[in-house]
Chains A and B, each alone.
Chain A
Amino acid sequence: DGGITQSPKYLFRKEGQNVTLSCEQNLNHDAMYWYRQDPGQGLRLIYYSQIVNDFQKGDIAEGYSVSREKKESFPLTVTSAQKNPTAFYLCASRQGGPEPQHFGDGTRLSIL
């Protein structure tokens, strides 16, 4: 079955630690996105990539980094510079243009 796989489902971060969230898709989609979801705040865009080896900052990129070395993979690193990382992180992809996004099932990140 085609889809988007996010791992791990739950992740805990210690103070000063960087953590990486995985996002893999087998839909052959060109574009991939990372969102942060906080209670009552909707989805906020962190980074997006429309093609391999290229990505752009979204609305809340500070404290995060990404890479896009392969079409099917778009990992997100939450760095120690992100002082409030506790949230639900969602990865999405789509073929391109105005096609709707499809989402993974998210990673919940908490601080130890």
Chain B
Amino acid sequence: QKEVEQDPGPLSVPEGAIVSLNCTYSNSAFQYFMWYRQYSRKGPELLMYTYSSGNKEDGRFTAQVDKSSKYISLFIRDSQPSDSATYLCAMEGGSYIPTFGRGTSLIVHP
């Protein structure tokens, strides 16, 4: 079993939908959780960073962490075609070397 599991998709939704992206993990030492967005042929761009259980909101994006279930989520409200990209989750513990999920490909169609 991989340390971080992420469904590669693709996930296809209509414009305006609420998108839910998820990762599960097995290492209970993970304390810091990140979501990155990666457009084709570009580097990942940091979207959200959190180090505690609960929710963190930034504009249309909400990151949710449930450490008891070892489950993290990224919600995108009012999705736009420009949100079409690959979304990578990442997490790390005391080693300060992040472990990345494989990424989920999101397609938002007009």
Q: Are A98 and B8 in contact (CB under 8 A)?
A: no
A102 at the binding interface (Cβ < 8 Å) = yes
**Interface 1/0 per residue, A58-95 and B, CB below 8 Å:** 10000000000000000000000000000010101000
- Chain B residues near A92 (CB, 8 Å)? 43
- Considering the complex, which residues of chain A in the window 38-64 have a beta carbon less than 8 Å from any beta carbon of chain B? 40-43, 45, 48, 58
- Chain A residues near B45 (CB, 8 Å)? 103
Sorting the interface of chain A by its residue count into under 10, 10 to 19, 20 to 34 or 35 or more gives 20 to 34
Q: How far is the CA of A98 from the CA of B98 in the complex (A)?
A: 9
- Chain A residues near B88 (CB, 8 Å)? 42-43
A68 to chain B, nearest CB (A): 16
Q: Are B34 and A105 in contact (CB under 8 A)?
A: no
Q: Which residue of B lies closest to A98 (CB)?
A: B32
A26 at the binding interface (Cβ < 8 Å) = no
Q: How far is the CA of A19 from the CA of B32 in the complex (A)?
A: 35
Q: Are B92 and A106 in contact (CB under 8 A)?
A: no
Q: Which residue of A lies closest to B51 (CB)?
A: A98
Chosen A-B contacts, 9 in total, with CB atoms closer than 8 Å, are A42-B6, A43-B44, A88-B41, A98-B51, A100-B90, A103-B44, A103-B45, A105-B42, A108-B41
Q: Which residues of A contact B (CB under 8 A)?
A: 4, 6, 40-43, 45, 48, 58, 88, 90, 92, 96-98, 100-106, 108
